[in-house]
Structure 1
């Protein structure tokens, strides 16, 4: 049971991250547009900024639910069903909307718009239809439904005269009735669920800065399991991360609130507290403190080689927000260091919230861009250099003290042997085909061969592999011969930390398995 739950969590974690990756790109573009729209900019740039901002905020941010639905359905579906899953995703979403609206109309359940529109009624407008307002939860629910149904019933066979309707076409027939039933049931159930969500939000918001500490602490503690997406995704995109009315529109989730504030920067008089979830030094200053502590505690004769390993990991974190290449250098080596890192991570968010830094950043690039989006009286950007130094020093002194006090054999501290430092150097560049080709057979061999691999997917930085027989896995090969930043062994579920080129690695392994 536990194994099945871990597998399901791993698959869902990968599925949910795919739409979010495009949100990161959208956020950067919208940040640039917000700067172009500032009052002191010439009319020409303001018009360009407004034009692009309105397109993306309406076409991407305003349609997150359907994007999550199609993205999750496609990601969950087996490779041979992905195209059909995408089609069924959008069809199911539309069927739900029409069914939900029709039932509300039939039962006289349509809410009357008030002074603030449908706000506070529990209903909203989606694709021009008034329906129960479920936000991105609707897309997540329907995406999971489609993905599971396609995988479970995609092989349905019918009589030869009915063969045009077998397989995913039969799934479509089943989905029609399931979706209609679900659309009806949610008109009665969702108001109860929504009240529970509001209660959770109220509890979270009253916990003050401590809430931000626990968010940061749990974020890092869940990383080794690959389940940290379950924590931050709801805070970023659902009412669990806050609710705000901006320019007459209700926004749910910290990231959506931030983007709405960007689009109305000239009229914003105070920043929403939820922005504290987005002001994150975890990939900016903390990696510098960690790396310097690892370098400083290494043997003098090893420091040059240690630096050649650490510098790319810090650059990767600062430029792309990917911290795993650095963190996996000590994660499995010392749980004490990881626990301390999680505490410092949480403290950095607590400090940021206490002094009121209120701009979004999780990489050095968007920190620089977003610093110009709002006046310092609102965003408190002048505190960024101070907190940058404080958090880097906190991480450095904590790591240096624990490494020396507990004599932890971190990078470069072991009895000198060249092979101990022959570690792969994480790169800021995507892995090239030539470097992947030399690894493919080694990875497959370490996993027990082609026939031992049941399923392979990837998230932002990891290969996630389900295997049939864990006794056939050769950890010696995976740990010593595969160029990675770490291996997570969960029995029949293996994670290989590759980095930014992981998707290309996964594609080439799939080609090799199918050859």
Structure 2
């Protein structure tokens, strides 16, 4: 039972992150558009900013539910069914909209439009159709349904006279009737679920800054398991992160609310409290504090080498928001340090919200862009330099104190051996196997038990996430000693290799090497 739950969690986590990865890009583009729309800008620049902002706001942010549906369906489906799953995903989504609207109409429960539109009625407009307002939960639910049905029944074979209707065509028949029943039933169930969600949101928002502390604390605590997506994703993109009406439109989720406020700053007087989830020094000042603590507590003769190792990891965190290369230097080394880091991470969100910083940032780049793009009267970004120093210094002293008091053997406190000769020998040895693929890629496949043992491989922002058939064939020694990675997360048949920036390129190389091995055999 535990194995099934872990597998389900890992599979869903891999699927949900795929659509979300495009949101980061959308956020950067919208932030640039907001700068183009500033009052000081020429009218031509403002027009361009408005034009692009409105397109992305309506075409991407406004249609997240359908994007999640198609993305999750395709991500969950087996490789041979991915295209069909994507097609069935959008079909299922449209079937739900029309079935749900028709049932509300037949039963006389279509809400009347008021002065605020359908806001507060539990219904909304999707693709011009009035339906039960489930937000992205609708896309997530239908995407999971399609992915599961395709994998479960995609291999169905019918009599040869009915062969054109076998496989995923049979799945489509199932989907039609299941979706109609689901669309009808949800009109009775979702109002109850929605009231529960509202209760959770009220509890969180009334907790104020304390609520943001627990969010930050749990966010880091779940990182080693790769399950932190389950925490931040619903808060960023669903009503669990709050609901707001801005410029006559309703937005669900902290990140969507922020983007709406970013584009309509002249029309709002106060910031929505959900922005507290988004003002995050976790990849900006905290890595600097950790790095200084490591450097300060290392042996004097090792400090140059320690600095050479730490500077790239801090730069990566600041510019790209990727903190794993630094965090995995101490995650498995000292659970005490990790717990302390989680506490400081939570405190940084608590303090940031307490002083009233109200702009979105999780990297140095969008911190700078959003500081320029958003009105100071609303964002209070003039406080960022102060909190940058406070949070960085706090992390530094916590780490330095614990490292010294507990004598934790962090980077540079032990002898740093020169492994250049060993690495060179390894490269020469592996290149004799096949010079077309670098040792890193060959070691990954070998460490995972060979190409036949790898069932599925996917990447998120920083990790390769792999499902293997037989966990006993996985060689953790190879993965930990020969693969250049920030860390290895071993969850039985579900292995995670923390690569950091460049993980997508690494994924492509591994896939190419696996194809080569299959063709060779």
TM-score normalised by length of structure 1: 0.95
**Cα gap change, 1:436 to 1:357, in 2 (>3 Å):** farther
**What residue is the counterpart of 1:379 in the other structure?**
379
Structure 1 residues 37-436: aligned runs within 5 Å: 37-419=37-419
Against the structure 1 CA distance between its residues 466 and 348, is the aligned structure 2 distance closer, same or farther, given a 3 Å change threshold? same
CA contact (8 A) 1:38 1:266 kept: no
CA displacement at 1:510 relative to structure 2: 2.8
Instruction: Quote the offset at 1:474 in angstroms.
Output: 1.5
Is the partner of 2:372 in helix, strand or coil?
coil
Alignment of 1:459-498 (within 5 A): 459-498=460-499
Corresponding residue SS for 2:438: helix
2:456 — aligned with what?
455
Question: Matched residues in 2 for 1:421 and 1:459: separation?
Answer: 33
Question: 1:422 deviation in Å?
Answer: 9.1
The alpha carbon displacement at 1:351 in A equals: 0.4
Residues in 2 aligned to 1:378 and 1:489: alpha-carbon distance in whole angstroms: 45
Runs of 5+ consecutive residues of structure 2 not aligned to the other structure = 424-434
Give 1:290 deviation, angstroms: 0.6
8 Å Cα contact 2:21-2:460 kept in structure 1: no
Tell me which moved more, 272-281 or 439-448.
439-448
Cα 1:512–1:165 shift into 2, 3 Å: farther
CA pair 331-158 structure 1, distance change in 2 beyond 3 A: same
Partner of 2:429: none
| 2:508 paired residue number | 507
The residue aligned with 2:426 is none
Alignment TM-score, normalising by the size of structure 2: 0.94
Q: Distance in 1 between matches of 2:159 and 2:506?
A: 41
Superposed CA RMSD in Å reads 1.6
The answer (yes or no) to whether the contact 1:487–1:497 under 8 Å persists in 2 is yes
- The answer (yes or no) to whether the contact 1:34–1:265 under 8 Å persists in 2 is no
Q: Which residue of 2 aligns with 1:431?
A: none
Change (3 A) 1:9 1:295: same
Q: Aligned-pair distance for 1:409?
A: 0.9
Task: Between 348-357 and 407-416, report the one with greater CA deviation.
Answer: 407-416
1:29-51 deviation per Cα after TM superposition (whole angstroms, max 9, x unaligned) = 11111111122222111111111
Is contact 1:276–1:349 with CA below 8 Å preserved after alignment?
yes
8 A contact 2:486–2:499 mirrored in 1 = yes
Q: Are the structure 2 counterparts of residues 210 and 420 from structure 1 closer, same or farther at C-alpha, using a change threshold of 3 Å?
A: farther
Matched residues in 2 for 1:371 and 1:15: separation? 33
How many positions carry a matched residue from both structures? 505
Shift of 1:175: 0.8
Cα distance, 1:110–1:421 mapped onto 2, change above 3 Å: farther
